[in-house]
Chains A and B, each alone.
Chain A
Amino acid sequence: MAHADVKHHHHEEVSKWPFFIGVGGLLTTIAFTAFFAWGWKFIGLILFGVSLISILFGITGWANEHFEKDREYGLGALGTFLFILTEVVIFGTMFAAFWTARVTHAYEWANWVPEGVSISMAALLTLILWTSSYTIWKAEEVLENEGDTGKTIKWVFFTFSLGVLFVILHVSEWIHLWKEGFTLSVNMYGTGFYALTGLHTSHVLVGLIAHLYCIWLLATGKMNQYRPTVLRGVSAYWHFVDFMWLLVALTAYVLGTMAI
């Protein structure tokens, strides 16, 4: 029967870091409510800043504690897989919104399609992301088989750079489309387009932060050949983000601009 073969040490079972992340999460929601619902713009911005600092403080402390205290049980990979399963459903809700509108408004849809949405742009973005899927796979392989931390950092950095390129191109495209009058609120195509691509880009940004985090862990020697779980998890997440892009692009660009 599966049981992690673990010797436990009788130390105090405490960690203050989750507290800072949790409080940060609460403050983020209060900041948003203050800014948008209560009309306290300034207080909202201050609270938002405080919440970000609290979350970053918590995450950094958590990481340090994890690598100092915990033993590697290899459970993180399964945890990441389950988390990805949840993410698929979050994307699913936005797809449901887009597809529903696309089907029920098929006849007026053609009037909603702006000039600027280009499939070749989508193809370029796909190429960039899928290349980055290869580079992170390479990073994982180098770490696990060769144990060469320096080379691993290089491959993670390639991945990070490709991700940054993706975000820059994508955001400039958004700005272009927005100026053309294709906004969030113009019609359901606008809403669905930005909701899907925006949800996806927010995941890319999380991935980019995770890449920087991995580079830091590798550079400081916290992560190595024998403790690769974090890189594995980040890699699995990144493959998911890249695969999801295909569905997002097919929906937002191809299905979105198709006649009929």
Chain B
Amino acid sequence: MREAIHVEKPYFLASLREWLFTTDHKKIGILYFTVSYVFFLVAGLFGMGVRLEQAQPGMQVVSYDTYNYFLTGHGVVMLLWWAIAAHIGGFGNFLLPLMIGARDLAFPRLNALSWWMFFGASVLVLLTLIPGNQIKMMWTGYPPFSSNPDAGVTALYVFVIHLLGASSIATAVNFIVTYLKMRAPGVTFWKTNMYVHTLIAANVIQLIGVPSLAGAVTMLLLDTYFGTNFFNPAKGGDPLLYQNVFWFYSHPVVYVQVLPIFGFFSEIVPVFARRPLFGYHTMVFAVWGIVALSFIVWIHHMFVSGVPNWIRVLMSYTTLLIAVPTGIKIFNWMLTLYKGAIQLRSQMLYMLGGIFMFLIGGLTGIPNAMVAIDLGISDSLFVVGHFHYVLGMAVTLGILGAIIHWFPLATGKFYPENLGKISFWVIFAGANIFYFFQMVVGMLGNPRRYPDYPPIPEWAALHMIQTIGALILGVGIIIFTWGMIKGLISGEKAPQNPWKSPSLEWRLPVPAPAHNFGDEPPKIEKDWHPYRFDKLEEGNK
């Protein structure tokens, strides 16, 4: 029942020159992903430095300055490289054209430019490793501290955001035009993969949000080097202006980071429950509902910044409203499992683990959204634990599972199943030990960002437990990384459509051929749907 696909060489068999100057979405996706993964490991080491320093009260491991640099670098790189570039630049580039049956993105050369600007931002981050150039203003870069020489080189911080921002805007334009104009005939709005829906939703947020962050850091640059008064209250400026313009993007960005991960959950859970995604339509509405709400909740990052009460109350309500579409999603994934023929393949474990972490992160977010409670826990380690459940672990487990799932399409081989399972359980255990007790010590009053804390026995014990959890988590990441290398070198050869998925990208031979579906868009049957398994099962009989 499938049309035969002419045999072509895999996309990755190309000369070094082709790889370097490529405009092919698959190669660019791999390039993005590789840089992001390496940066992820480095940012993980930064985080480990922070954690080891906090294992005991007092300063034992690093200086105050190094601690601040580690914390800043951990935040910037994890949020912007791992939680955005790895899956939007990496997976988004690789999968979007394949899932909608397109030949490439709408503007392949512009895509290459996105990649080079991202590369430039990565070089700037490496420059901060040179002594004297550390940026120590935390990833938020709040003035007036961030324009102070003690905070490091302000220009480098600003330009990292500028280059990444330009890259992200170009990617957003490219992805949205591709989705609107390049779908194969038969891929309608209501027959689009959830991953594509979430990817486009995330890029709409990027398109509207990134320029706001760019504006905020531009003001910071002008204030620091040209003597303007944007954040100078003595001359009519306002430091809170930065926070507002900053969070106008930097709150919605958490949905840029997490929506495509919901896409991964929605792609992989149905395949390993052998059931169509439950409530597909409500899922699509929920995604766009989150996009709309994401831009009217940012004040919840500023409840202690002295904003008027009526705005705090208003944005507390809008924040709580987000629980509705998010709840719909969780119920949909659960009901997809209901009466399904569940196979606990390693990527399925990663997805279920990711959903669990997201649930914990979501539930602990609700008290944060309430002004009265937030006043007490704001800027405590409780908040840090909360967002590491959501952004840290739901995102990481989602990406790692997605790596296992699409590994055959990218490499033609399987990720070693046993290492997938072992790494999952190690990471899952380590992360829960770490972040759960981080929330506990936060509830006891331990503030975030400080390198040191008073020698209270309970706090010291809780920090030691967290550190042990972090080390376990680190071991899990090493095992996973080893699995990727092993899979690349000696992984078992994968057949076409190894997971028996109706989604379009699996109609291609593995590894994906250089020219995707060839000259003609794939022929799509009238009753095709990316989550329709019954036809596939019949075909197999």
Report which of A78, A83, A112, A184 forms a contact with B227, defined as CB distance below 8 A: A184
In this assembly, does B103 line the interface, its C-beta being within 8 Å of a C-beta of chain A?
A: yes
Contact with A along B161-181 (1 / 0, CB 8 A): 011001001001110110011
For residue B355, which residues in chain A have a CB less than 8 angstroms away from its CB?
A: none
Report which of A30, A97, A185 forms a contact with B219, defined as CB distance below 8 A: A97
Would B116 and A19 count as touching, CB distance under 8 A? yes
List residues 208-255 of chain A with CB under 8 A from any CB of chain B. none
In this assembly, does B318 line the interface, its C-beta being within 8 Å of a C-beta of chain A?
A: no
In this assembly, does B464 line the interface, its C-beta being within 8 Å of a C-beta of chain A?
A: no
In this assembly, does B212 line the interface, its C-beta being within 8 Å of a C-beta of chain A?
A: yes
List residues 200-221 of chain B with CB under 8 A from any CB of chain A. 207-212, 214-216, 218-219
Contact with A along B209-248 (1 / 0, CB 8 A): 1111011101100100111111000011110010011000
Given contacts A32-B159, A36-B225, contact A23 B208 (CB under 8 A): no
Q: How many residues of B contact A (CB 8 A)?
A: 76
Which chain A residue lies CB-closest to B162?
A29
Report which of A10, A26, A65, A92 forms a contact with B215, defined as CB distance below 8 A: A92
For residue B24, which residues in chain A have a CB less than 8 angstroms away from its CB?
A: 13
Name the prevailing secondary structure of the A interface residues: helix
Alpha-carbon distance between A10 and B116 when the two chains are bound, in angstroms: 24
Would B109 and A62 count as touching, CB distance under 8 A? yes
Given contacts A15-B109, A22-B117, A26-B123, contact A93 B215 (CB under 8 A): yes
For residue A16, which residues in chain B have a CB less than 8 angstroms away from its CB?
A: 21
Min CB–CB distance B438 → chain A (angstroms): 34
In this assembly, does A114 line the interface, its C-beta being within 8 Å of a C-beta of chain B?
A: no
For residue A104, which residues in chain B have a CB less than 8 angstroms away from its CB?
A: 236, 238
Report which of A82, A92, A100, A189 forms a contact with B212, defined as CB distance below 8 A: A92
Report which of B108, B156, B183, B214 forms a contact with A1, defined as CB distance below 8 A: B183
Segment at the interface with A among B67-75, B184-192, B253-261, B361-369: B184-192
List residues 235-292 of chain B with CB under 8 A from any CB of chain A. 235-238, 241, 244-245
Would A79 and B106 count as touching, CB distance under 8 A? yes
Contact with B along A183-198 (1 / 0, CB 8 A): 0111111110011000
Given contacts A4-B181, A75-B181, contact A87 B211 (CB under 8 A): yes
Would A26 and B120 count as touching, CB distance under 8 A? yes
Given contacts A3-B184, A191-B228, contact A86 B120 (CB under 8 A): no
Name the prevailing secondary structure of the B interface residues: helix
In this assembly, does B374 line the interface, its C-beta being within 8 Å of a C-beta of chain A?
A: no
Contact with B along A1-23 (1 / 0, CB 8 A): 11110111010111111110111
Q: How many residues of A contact B (CB 8 A)?
A: 62
Min CB–CB distance A3 → chain B (angstroms): 6
In this assembly, does B115 line the interface, its C-beta being within 8 Å of a C-beta of chain A?
A: yes
For residue B212, which residues in chain A have a CB less than 8 angstroms away from its CB?
A: 89-90, 92-93
Which chain B residue lies CB-closest to A95?
B215
Alpha-carbon distance between A184 and B222 when the two chains are bound, in angstroms: 10
For residue A37, which residues in chain B have a CB less than 8 angstroms away from its CB?
A: 153-156, 225
For residue A191, which residues in chain B have a CB less than 8 angstroms away from its CB?
A: 222, 228-230, 235-237
Of A8, A10, A23, A66, which is in contact with the most chain B CB atoms at under 10 Å from its CB?
A8
Would B237 and A101 count as touching, CB distance under 8 A? yes
Alpha-carbon distance between A83 and B206 when the two chains are bound, in angstroms: 11
Alpha-carbon distance between A100 and B244 when the two chains are bound, in angstroms: 11
Would B23 and A15 count as touching, CB distance under 8 A? yes
In this assembly, does A118 line the interface, its C-beta being within 8 Å of a C-beta of chain B?
A: no
Given contacts A13-B22, A25-B120, A66-B109, contact A101 B238 (CB under 8 A): yes
Alpha-carbon distance between A33 and B163 when the two chains are bound, in angstroms: 14
Contact with B along A64-89 (1 / 0, CB 8 A): 01100000010100110011011101
Would A33 and B156 count as touching, CB distance under 8 A? yes
Which chain B residue lies CB-closest to A78?
B177
Alpha-carbon distance between A89 and B180 when the two chains are bound, in angstroms: 22
Would B108 and A29 count as touching, CB distance under 8 A? no
Of A16, A32, A66, which is in contact with the most chain B CB atoms at under 10 Å from its CB?
A32
For residue A115, which residues in chain B have a CB less than 8 angstroms away from its CB?
A: none
In this assembly, does A96 line the interface, its C-beta being within 8 Å of a C-beta of chain B?
A: yes
Min CB–CB distance B118 → chain A (angstroms): 9
For residue A190, which residues in chain B have a CB less than 8 angstroms away from its CB?
A: 229
Would B103 and A8 count as touching, CB distance under 8 A? yes
Given contacts A62-B109, A66-B109, contact A97 B183 (CB under 8 A): no
Alpha-carbon distance between A21 and B22 when the two chains are bound, in angstroms: 15
What are 29 inter-chain pairs, A to B, with CB distance below 8 A?
A3-B184, A13-B22, A13-B24, A14-B22, A14-B23, A18-B116, A73-B106, A75-B106, A79-B106, A85-B207, A86-B173, A86-B211, A89-B211, A90-B211, A90-B212, A93-B218, A93-B245, A96-B245, A101-B237, A101-B238, A104-B236, A104-B238, A187-B236, A188-B235, A188-B236, A190-B229, A191-B222, A191-B230, A191-B237
| 18 further interface pairs, Cβ-Cβ under 8 Å (given A3-B182, A37-B154, A37-B156) | A1-B186, A14-B17, A15-B108, A26-B120, A26-B123, A37-B153, A75-B106, A75-B181, A85-B207, A86-B172, A89-B209, A90-B211, A90-B212, A96-B245, A97-B237, A189-B236, A195-B222, A195-B228
